[in-house]
Structure 1
Amino acid sequence: MAYSVPSTDSAHPVNDRREIAGWRLYDWANSGFTTTVIAALFGPFLEALAKEAVGPSGTVLSLGIYKVTAESLYPDAVSLSVLLQFLFLPLLGALADYTNIKKQLLMFFCLLGAAATTMLFIATPATYLFAALAFVVANLSFGASIVFYNAFLNEITTEDMRDKVSSQGFAFGYIGGGVLLAVNLVLVVFAETFGLTTAMAVRISLASAGLWWGIFGYFGIQRLKNRASARKVPPGQHYITVSVRELWSAFRDLGRLRQTLRFLIGYLLYNDGIQTVIGISSVFLVNELFLSKGQTSDDAQSFLLGLVLMIQFVAFGGALGFERISRKVGTKRAILISLFIWTGVIVYAYAFLDSVFQAWFMGAAIALVLGGSQSLSRALFSRMIPHGREAAFYGIYEISERGTSWIGPFIFARVIAATGSYRQAILSLIALFAGGIVILLLTNTTKAIHDAGNQLPEEAAASHS
């Protein structure tokens, strides 16, 4: 049932079930891109195409002292898309706060990203560079759409509903991404049964992620409603100039909202640790459980694919479960519980992991805390930002997640280069979690929420009762 309390526009009530369902559906839609394209198929496929075109150690591009090789093409494509996100997402967020077209902007980047992803179908040894460029456009569009998607959370819900709705979004995303990944892995593994080559099955799977994103995303976004912008462009100024000023103003406000800034720094650290564990877990497991025991990486393929699928579906329950925990102990404490479990996972991987069975157990633990730590962080941050400035602050929040994800990989790489030990390298990531935990403990989240002019969940619930 919708409350009659208005959000940013009295014409549209908040906590409307139909609008929240559309918002959740968008997470279901775009998660097909993150699972099928990023987590499972595109990186190895692009590397194989590049090697077929230029040789195993061939040079794809030579940019002075910087060379792009067949092995580095995919990481370089990811890095380029992250750099573009770092440059553009805060500006896009600032722009959105001065318009009443968040829905149209979300739809534009959804369809652009979906179209670029669908075009990965043409990826062959002759067109692999175009495919890499299409991926850059898709990943940039994904990040841009998330800025507007996150900003809608504040417009369609009251403070007391944010933990629940944010967790539901992540949970639906895990299921949506998992369902599509399961279908595509069946297609790839049994390609010959369907009369397809493996390469064609991969190309179809990549394109399906674009169609999944575009079709479900379109219907989800259609349910969202534009609200009147809380900020107006001053006379004689243009959207671009006012966006730059708004972004600068948002950074200045972070200096004033010191508790919000403190949380953002803590989030930067612990989320970088989370993203690094996710990103290097396959390399770590292959080396520690297979290569070190005389097996090949091919022996690990089915295990890794099954592990990714299991994590997707268990994470669904984890996201919803941690929302319930947050209701009992508070959002900040629930996040801290998840971070202590993350720290325990790292210690377990360093000291005890020695079998595939143990890896399944560790993967399940990761899945349980994965959604909770991220969804509750988003919900908590949503209450720490001023009304009318949501998109600008979410633009900064998004680059704190994507633009800084080099810290953990850099630490991991340096430790393994110095010690030759994957276990020592993964143990080093504790520094990121420890730093994030300490900063979060020192953050007065109640003061951060009140300083931003917002209510605590219990205050909002009382005002609506």
Structure 2
Amino acid sequence: MRSVSKAAWSWAMYDWANSAYTTTVMAGFFPVFFKQFWAADLSANESTFWLGLANALSGLLIALLAPVLGAMADRGGLKKRMLLSFTTLGVLMTAALFLVDHGEWGWAVVIFSLGAIGFSGANVFYDALIVDVAQRSQLDRISSLGYALGYIGGGVLFAVNIAMTLHPEWFMLADKAEAVRWSFVSVAIWWGLFSLPLAYHVREADVEGGTHWHQAARDGFAQLGDTFRHLRSLRQVWLFLLAYFLYIDGVNTVARMAVDYGLALGFDASVLMTALLMTQFIAFPAALALGWLGERWSCKGVLLVCIGVYAMVCIWSSTMQDAGDFYWLAGSIGLVIGGIQALSRSMYARMIPEHQSAEFFGFFNMLGKFAAVVGPLLMGAVSMVSGSARFSILVIVILFAAGAALLYRVQVNDKP
């Protein structure tokens, strides 16, 4: 990694910063705390429905806004400013979870949804900034570096947060509930602090025409229609986006609903937290290895393998019986989760016009967020109607299969 610039390292460190939200809040403590503390009076299926709805609504809003915001950022040179604005929203809302009392599940849903909007909105511009910090020949490597640092950084804080809940007395806390609430505060501090390298060291390319917000908004709306028509004419980009929409739906759903699924099957929360932590540390070297493999073999080929592993994990998870099975599944996901995300980003970055990266990544993230709307709702609805959490997970396999079939047809020059 000696050839990686200071700007690229600083960009990648943002993944270290915001991945604490993904692990401790989104995938880890929020689903458990929501079921057992804020929504303790609701049935398991009802709390699953409301958790899925919270994820879906936040995903829907940012999905609708992402292309317009991306167009504004490209026209005004505002990618970094908008990233930091959404980051501020996410940090404040994450800290605000500390204030939600027992039984106030409605407030928990609202605050969590706003935090998720901050997280997802910032990622639109974070992804787009990759073309400002990495040369074409480095896209796979730098994208994988970001995800690798994210998994190790999120894992480090998650390990501390787990220790806080298992031994609150070590941290001078009264009980497990207080430890979880302070864990949310620690995520907010971590996220804000480690965003500073990007704020200070990443510079986006100058844009002719100034950086006024109101002018950028007008120009962005005017440009959006032209870009959509341009996007439709880029057949391979459009085909990739359709494939991405399908398979990333499965990835997002597994990530957001895995803990809730495990709880529905009766596994102890400590088993689920340990499995998530294991996934983080496996994903760190695996993401780097898959990035290296993508550069030397085929980015698309590695993606197809990762999708296949995810589909098999979903089928396997519908039959698992004990904690050992859950650990094996977590390890399997750890091997591919970083690769499927990093190589999707770098493959797309290689296919789009660099001077419109935020706008095109707005469409990229829009489809990803719409997938996050469909997936959790499908899983929650199937669980509610059928009364079987095991049956609900099998729906996701269809999305992986369809996504892989479309991705196979995408033609792209993997080599720089």
Normalising by the residue count of structure 2, what TM-score does the alignment of the two structures yield? Answer: 0.90
Q: What is the aligned partner in structure 2 of residue 94 from structure 1?
A: 71
Tell me, yes or no, if structure 1 residue 271 matches structure 2 residue 229.
no
Indicate the larger mover: 253-262 or 197-206. 197-206
Structure 1: gaps (5+ residues): 3-14, 58-68, 292-296, 447-455, 459-465
Q: What is the aligned partner in structure 1 of residue 219 from structure 2?
A: 242
Tell me, yes or no, if structure 1 residue 211 matches structure 2 residue 169.
no
Structure 2: which amino acid aligns with 1:211?
I
Indicate the larger mover: 212-221 or 111-120. 111-120
Alpha-carbon distance between aligned partners in 2 of 1:174 and 1:386, rounded to the nearest angstrom: 29
> Mapping of 1:276-355 within 5 angstroms?
276-288=253-265, 291=266, 297=267, 300-350=268-318, 353-355=320-322
> Mapping of 1:61-100 within 5 angstroms?
74-100=51-77
Alpha-carbon distance between aligned partners in 2 of 1:72 and 1:412, rounded to the nearest angstrom: 9
Matching residue within 135, 139, 155 for 1:158: 135
C-alpha contact 2:71 2:223 (8 A) present in aligned 1 = yes
CA shift, 1:335, in A, is: 0.7
CA shift, 1:17, in A, is: 1.3
C-alpha contact 1:85 1:140 (8 A) present in aligned 2 = yes
Structure 2: which amino acid aligns with 1:22?
S
Higher relative contact order (CA 8 A, sep 6+): 2
Matching residue within 332, 347, 352 for 1:385: 352
C-alpha contact 1:314 1:367 (8 A) present in aligned 2 = yes
Q: State the Cα deviation string for residues 317-359 of structure 1 (Å, max 9, x = none).
A: 11111112213321111111111222232333346x3432233
CA shift, 1:432, in A, is: 0.9
C-alpha contact 1:106 1:221 (8 A) present in aligned 2 = no
Q: What is the aligned partner in structure 1 of residue 33 from structure 2?
A: 45
C-alpha contact 2:313 2:333 (8 A) present in aligned 1 = yes
Tell me, yes or no, if structure 1 residue 111 matches structure 2 residue 116.
no
Normalising by the residue count of structure 1, what TM-score does the alignment of the two structures yield? Answer: 0.81
C-alpha contact 1:408 1:432 (8 A) present in aligned 2 = no
Structure 2: gaps (5+ residues): none
SS at match of 1:227: coil
C-alpha contact 2:31 2:260 (8 A) present in aligned 1 = no
Tell me, yes or no, if structure 1 residue 426 matches structure 2 residue 414.
no
Structure 1 residues 417, 216: closer, same or farther in 2, change over 3 A? Answer: closer
Q: Alignment length, in residue pairs?
A: 412
Identity, % of aligned positions: 31
Tell me, yes or no, if structure 1 residue 24 matches structure 2 residue 20.
no
Tell me, yes or no, if structure 1 residue 440 matches structure 2 residue 398.
no
Alpha-carbon distance between aligned partners in 2 of 1:412 and 1:78, rounded to the nearest angstrom: 12
Matching residue within 29, 36, 59 for 2:24: 36
Q: What is the aligned partner in structure 2 of residue 451 from structure 1?
A: none
CA shift, 1:31, in A, is: 0.6
Alpha-carbon distance between aligned partners in 1 of 2:50 and 2:386, rounded to the nearest angstrom: 27
Structure 2: which amino acid aligns with 1:221?
A
Tell me, yes or no, if structure 1 residue 146 matches structure 2 residue 123.
yes
Structure 1 residues 129, 388: closer, same or farther in 2, change over 3 A? Answer: same
Q: State the Cα deviation string for residues 207-233 of structure 1 (Å, max 9, x = none).
A: 11001000111233211013212x648
C-alpha contact 1:159 1:457 (8 A) present in aligned 2 = no
Alpha-carbon distance between aligned partners in 2 of 1:409 and 1:81, rounded to the nearest angstrom: 12
Bigger share in helix: 2
CA shift, 1:114, in A, is: 1.4
Structure 1 residues 301, 140: closer, same or farther in 2, change over 3 A? Answer: same
Q: State the Cα deviation string for residues 376-399 of structure 1 (Å, max 9, x = none).
A: 000000011112110011111112
SS at match of 2:75: coil
Tell me how large the CA RMSD over aligned residues is: 2.8
